[in-house]
Amino acid sequence: MTCGVCLEVCPNVNDHSNFMGPAPVIQPRLFNAHPSGKMHKSERLQGIMGEGGLQDCGNAQNCVESCPERHPDHDIDRRSQP
């Protein structure tokens, strides 16, 4: 989850976009799933719902195809679910 391959293949991570990229977008879901991370759940979700977050993802799915971990949470359709 820290290799950055998804950032390299994402067409929306560039100088003309505010999109933070696939890796930062998925981190809140992983942190919120841990018992110690639940206390900041809403703040994390708000962070990815604003400008540069999910709304700026073009849903190219290059991140899903290129991820060496093949993590099930990398599915872009599930990222917006709490």
Each residue's pLDDT expressed in tens, for the chain with a length of 82 residues? 578 899 999 999 999 999 999 888 888 888 888 898 888 999 988 888 989 998 999 999 898 888 888 665 555 555 444 4
Look at residue 13 in the predicted model and tell me its pLDDT.
Answer: 95
Look at residue 14 in the predicted model and tell me its pLDDT.
Answer: 95
- Token pair recorded at residue 37: 């991370």
Look at residue 73 in the predicted model and tell me its pLDDT.
Answer: 55
Sign of the torsion formed by the C-alpha atoms of 60, 61, 67 and 73: positive
CB-based contacts of 5, cutoff 8 Å, min separation 6: 66, 67, 68
Tokens 């890796």 correspond to 23
d(CA 26, CA 73): 7
pTM exceeding 0.85: no
